[in-house]
Structure 1
Amino acid sequence: MKLLISFLFATLALASILRPQKILDIERHAVHDCLESANETVGILNFVDSSEHYEKGAKHYSGYLDVKSKNRLFFWLQLSKINPAKDPIILVLNGGPGASSMYGMIIQWGSMVFPWRIDKLTVNPNALNAAANVVFVDNPIGVGFSQPAPSGSLHKQLLDCTKDLVEFLLALRVTDFRGVQLVKNELHVMGSSFAGHYLADLGAFVSATPGLNDALQLKSLIMGNPALEDIRGLDATYSLVCDPTVALSLSLLLTDDQCKVWKDNIPKCAAAIAACRKAPASAACAEGTIEGVCGQADPWVYWKLTCRDPYDISEPRVWDAPRRENIPAAKKFLDLYTKEIGAEGAWAMFQPKVRTALRDSGEAYKDSSIRIQDMLTTKGNNIKLFAYAGDYDLMCPYLGLKRTLRDIQWDGQKELATKLDRSEADYDKLLTVAGTPLGNYAEAGPLRYARIFGSGHMGNEKRGGDVRAMIYQWIGIKSHL
């Protein structure tokens, strides 16, 4: 039977999946008392494959954990293939705001994925759970399968999103997953794009709350192509495309007149964002207001002229067609197995209402580098930060990230700025397992910045194995390197 299951996983297209029991071995049990009650259930998914990588049959758990706020974050836990009781935990968030982390699991980092342009589940050779316990969480409430409390509403403040995550993590620590308890495993939180805001806020909150990190054991934040500060990002994207002095200049993609229109509109957009920051939750922050002012400063306007993909400028883009991700295949799979994985509601990759709530409050336009500064300057802070960006991504460009980190005021600012101001030829080098260049990096104290060569918005899209090795090296995992 196991061979049959393996064969079906490896060969059947999603369209041919008719009976869940032939694909997933589902068991159910009550979750142990987390913070209040023990009424929820968690689904256990045993993905079994005949390859050596999967012969141990790692366990998958999904569902909701009870927390005091009654807000329900949906999660999917993939236990480590090596030693779940001792291996580190990596919590993975997606951005948006409003994007489901089930996308991160089923398209990017999970043990079974829908590769781009392929609509069947395939063994992922670069799965994060090769030597770590990986938790994908739909955050904030309203995203994916996550739901607010019965009498609650969507969050308008990043702090409320952070408090939900903290409650979830505390519940995760005291849950027994069929004899495996993640009580003392060190924790690393990883996120991309808008999730940079979530991570920055989480780091500042945890470092500022006495005793909290004794329970969480949060060791580091890992930001991939993070959105942190929009104004610097606007200037950086323009520079990478239209400034001939920048090494990654793409000036041939746009005419001089197009670049001039773009440059002339950036100050107007920056002023609109600054006005929102001065008066959050006012008319200045209304999503339509800022979007209207920033329209001619938005990179999307110019990518349509270049016929390139703004998330990966090495790739062409057909503008009226979806990108290469298999979001429809992911939705079909999650809709088919919603009940079996302990989820409720209808899954969607993106929830516009969540984005609007955080934008209208001004939270989405915050300068989250200030929260990183708060974390770095908090006495006794022991949380490290690794922020990296692919140089093919022009939605959250590496140059904007470098400038943002350079300007953060903390004890190591001068040392980091000195390293960042060098010619990139003189940067320290990140190497792949094979010893070839992966990227440039600079670090001071607990903060590391890196530019990844030949990578787009999600580092695993083209360099999955290399990026996983880089993350494992940062965490200190020596297996599978």
Structure 2
Amino acid sequence: MMLQRLLATLFAATVAPVIAGVLPPRQVPGAAQGVTTITSPGGSTIRYKQPGKDGICETTPGVNSYSGYIDIAPDVHIFFWFFESRRDPAKDPVTLWLNGGPGSDSLIGLFEEIGPCEVVENMTTVLRDYAWNEISNVLFLSQPKEVGFLDPTYLLVDKEPGGSDEREGRWSVIDPTKEDTSRLAAITCWEVVQGFYDALPQLSSSNISSIDFHLWAESFGGHWGPAFYTLFNERNSELEQSTPVGRKLNLKSLGIVNGIVDEHVQTKYLLDFTRGENNGYGVDLINETIYNYGKWNRDRPGGCQEKLDYCDYLERDSIVRRSACSAAQFICQSDVEGMFYTFNLEGRGTYDIICNKTDLSEQPWLNTAQAQNALGVDLNYTSNNLLYTAYTLSGDFAVGYLPDVEKLLELDVQVSLVYGDADYICNWLGGEALSLTANWSGAESFRDAGYTSLMVDGEAYGETRQYGKLSFTRVWNAGHEIPYFQPAAAFQIFNRTSNRFDIATGEIKISPDSTYQTNGTAKTTKTTSLPPLTAQTGA
């Protein structure tokens, strides 16, 4: 289950007594004070504050940040947090970051991975090394439109809708079935980004003028990224063929971090990853009997892989396909993916097999009065498990987006597939298979390329295969959220992708028609021996 267990702890609102004495959690939020409202020429409304001026998150002198809501319809209010580049906001591009789930808010990426700050134990924020706004303006969106601080409407209740939290609070009340596919989410995101750009001259005094746009997405973002860029490219074409009402986005790069792009390709590698001879760590995650049972469930007639084949065969967005793909998702998750959850030999983490299941600590900061006042919100913060269910029922999980990636590779879009090698749920074996399965004009040359070391400041952090615009990188000793585990490597992969340099060294310029090809071994060679989990935890 994509990050749902993680979210339950990551943004839990129950604070330990020692912390509660410092910064108590807020139950029913008060009205936000000092909110500025602007209306763009196109009619979108932005309600915002500048949290950095209150000492929240981005406190680098002279660097602006804005948070609040982009209102694109009476019932669509998308929470955003925008950080200007520390280098040159006027000339640097805009990067959109999206987490997955679906139902996992992009603020996870902000605080745990790439944002300019992190929350520390005394419930304050401190600046982060290797923040991605060192070289780019970065936009975080809470999406789809029912997650995080989003407020189509709200209700004062004594329990979070769809959740297990018993606190009284002001919670969003939503209908997750209104936006239950990646295509529908892409349509909303396009309108939000258009509203943002339309209001940007009023929002910021930094004269942000670059038309270059980058999108990085994680986990279920392997669906978001290709689906969004496909829709964005369609809208760009419409703008070229008519009197422009909107802004064309110059789509420069797509980065996918441990993403589930195409279950038809990737699911078969879930069980392969549970074997020590395959995962690179020499540790079996389930016993051989369970492994063989899972393989039987995967490969039998009417089993997981056959259901995925049928889902892949049907016409996209048809009613029949929704039903067939939903059935495929359910069978594959319970009968194949679930073998690890139920029969995990040592209790190793879903998102980091090096550690146990408690991957990250609590961060209740977003449900404190200080944070909510500074961000300009009057709602309790929540992930959304209902969204996860809605996307499962719609069948979108099992819909493959590799064809969308293939089309992007024929455009002037740099595509970086980046996988931490300690993640089970979106593992590097499946990511590698994606890169080798992709059919595009450079496919044969990509498959002929070898692996070479990913070098950052003289140190090897992983292995990369690249031909021209497509790269696949296995990052060593990194779990599901690569920037959390290997921030220096993740930053340089982002930097090199955005600026069109080769991923391995950052020294070779990649032009739109580049024939650059890595040289090395046909397979990755790194192996690491893990001690028993009890030896690491002291349990």
Q: TM-score, normalised by structure 1?
A: 0.82
1:134 to 135, 138, 142: 138
Q: CA 1:243 to 1:460, structure 2 compared with 1: closer, same or farther past 3 Å?
A: closer
- Paired with 1:170 and 1:468, the residues of 2 have a C-alpha distance of 27
2:51 corresponds in structure 1 to 45
Helix, strand or coil: the match of 2:359?
A: coil
How far 1:456 moved relative to its partner?
0.9
Partner-residue secondary structure (3-state), 1:448: strand
Tell me the equivalent position of 2:330: 291
Deviations 1:57-100 (A, max 9, x none): 42220112233685222101111122222222111101001111
Measured after TM superposition, the shift of residue 341 of structure 1 is 1.7
The answer to whether the 8 A contact 2:33-2:373 is kept is no
**Retained in 2: the 8 A contact 1:303–1:310?**
no
Equivalent pair of 2:276/2:285 in contact (CA under 8 Å): no
Q: Tell me the CA shift for residue 194 of structure 1.
A: 0.3
Higher mean alpha-carbon deviation, 169-178 vs 402-411, is at: 169-178
Q: CA deviation at 1:27?
A: 5.2
Match of 2:40 in 1: 33
Post-superposition offset of 1:253: 4.0
Matches within 5 A, 1:362-441: 362-377=395-410, 381-419=411-449, 422=450, 427-432=451-456, 434-441=457-464
Q: How many pairs are equivalent?
A: 441
Query: Which residue in the other structure is 2:15 paired with?
Result: none
CA drift at 1:147? 4.5
RMSD of the alignment, in Å?
A: 3.3
- Assess if the C-alpha contact under 8 Å between 2:66 and 2:82 holds in 1: yes
Which among 359, 367, 375 is matched to residue 341 of structure 1? 375
Distance 1:250 1:263 in 2: 20
Give the equivalent residue in structure 2 for 1:3. Answer: none
Query: How far is the alpha carbon of 1:362 from its aligned partner?
Result: 1.4
Identify if the C-alpha distance between structure 1 residues 46 and 253 changes in structure 2 by more than 3 Å, giving closer, same or farther. closer
CA distance in 1, matches of 2:62, 2:293: 56
For 1:262, the aligned partner's letter is G
- Amino acid in structure 2 at the alignment position of 1:194: F
Is 1:65–1:168's contact at 8 Å kept on the other side of the alignment? yes
Cα separation, 1, equivalents of 2:380 and 2:25: 19
Paired position in structure 1 for 2:349: 309
Partner of 2:108: 103
Cα distance change of structure 1 residues 26 and 275 upon mapping to structure 2, 3 Å threshold: same
Rate the CA distance shift 1:365–1:111 in 2: closer, same or farther, 3 A: same
Task: Answer with 467-476 or 231-240: which moved more.
Answer: 231-240
Deviation at 1:48, TM superposition (A): 7.4
For the 8 Å contact 1:94–1:101, the answer to whether it is kept is yes
Cα pair distance change 1:226/1:464, threshold 3 Å: same
- Alignment of 1:188 with 2:214, yes or no, is yes
One of 221, 242, 261 as aligned partner of 2:293: 261
| Secondary structure at the counterpart of residue 195 of structure 2 | helix
SS of the residue aligned with 1:76? Answer: strand
State the 1:452 CA deviation.
0.9
Offset of residue 389 of structure 1: 0.3
Displacement of 1:118 = 7.6
- In the aligned structure 1, how far is the partner of 2:331 from the partner of 2:35? 49
| Structure-2 residue corresponding to 1:113 | 118
CA contact (8 A) 2:118 2:128 kept: yes
Of 194, 199, 208 in structure 2, the residue corresponding to residue 170 of structure 1 is: 194
- Tell me how far apart the structure 1 counterparts of residues 330 and 491 of structure 2 sit (CA, whole Å): 35
1:143 matched residue in structure 2: 147
Question: Could you tell me how far apart the structure 2 residues matched to 1:69 and 1:274 are?
Answer: 40
Supply the distance in 2 between the matched residues of 1:154 and 1:183 (Cα, whole angstroms). Answer: 35
* TM-score, normalising length: structure 2: 0.74
Q: Deviations over 1:368-412 (max 9, x none)?
A: 1011123234xxx22221111011111111111111121121111
| Deviation of 1:255 (Å) | 2.6
1:77 and 2:87 aligned = no
CA separation in 2, counterparts of 1:332 and 1:69? 25
Given residue 428 of structure 2, which amino acid in structure 1 is its aligned partner?
Y
Match of 1:358 in 2: 391
Shift of 1:107: 2.6
**What amino acid is the match of 1:309?**
G
Deviation at 1:47, TM superposition (A): 5.4
Where structure 1 has 5 or more consecutive residues not aligned to the other structure, the ranges are: 1-11
Secondary structure of the equivalent of 1:309? Answer: coil
Distance in 2, matches of 1:73 and 1:27, equals 19
Provide closer, same or farther for how the CA distance between residues 251 and 438 of structure 1 changes in structure 2, counting only shifts above 3 A. Answer: closer
**Match of 2:458, as an amino acid?**
G
Q: Could you tell me which runs of 5 or more consecutive residues in structure 2 were left unpaired when the two chains were aligned.
A: 1-17, 27-31, 154-172, 241-246, 315-319, 507-539
Shift of 1:438: 1.7
Q: Distance in 2 between matches of 1:439 and 1:263?
A: 29
In structure 2, relative to structure 1, the CA distance for the partners of 1:460 and 1:293 (3 Å cut) is: closer
User: Alpha-carbon deviation of 1:185?
Assistant: 4.3
1:281 aligns with 322
